[in-house]
A = this chain, B = another copy of it.
């Protein structure tokens, strides 16, 4: 399967990414660009976006980018630094890029910026474990 097909298949079944209102802007081998808008039901007790919102966006970008190579990949370790608070109505864009790929693992970086200002609001990194099972042939026992 091509990267675009893999990501569309993943997204079609990804209820939480749909709840977040994530829009797929672009997909390539080892990369994914996503966009979403901060809503009132995404805020925390300080009236700004809950830290889990930008994490979730970045984690979806990681999932899409790391599966785009054609083999199934699952997250094993992730970290995020929140560098600016997000308010209701802010539109953010997450760009996942491959840092390093080996046979069994992959390392990706996701930068989240506010679309209008272009300022960095979070930096995320994620390491995935790459299974043998391929998206082209998802049915064999693994």
The interface residues of chain B lying within 8 Å CB-to-CB of A12 are 45
- CB-based contact B80/A78 at 8 Å: yes
- A interface size (C-beta, 8 A): 51
Copies of this protein in the assembly total: 4
The chain B residue with its CB closest to the CB of A57 is B52
Assuming A44-B63, A52-B53, A81-B127, what are 10 further A-B pairs, CB within 8 angstroms?
A10-B44, A13-B47, A16-B41, A16-B50, A16-B53, A51-B59, A76-B77, A83-B100, A84-B100, A104-B129
Looking at chain A's contact residues, the main secondary structure is mixed
- A→B interface (CB under 8 Å): 9-17, 19, 40-47, 50-53, 55-57, 59-60, 63, 74-84, 99-100, 102, 104-105, 107, 109, 120, 123, 125, 127, 129
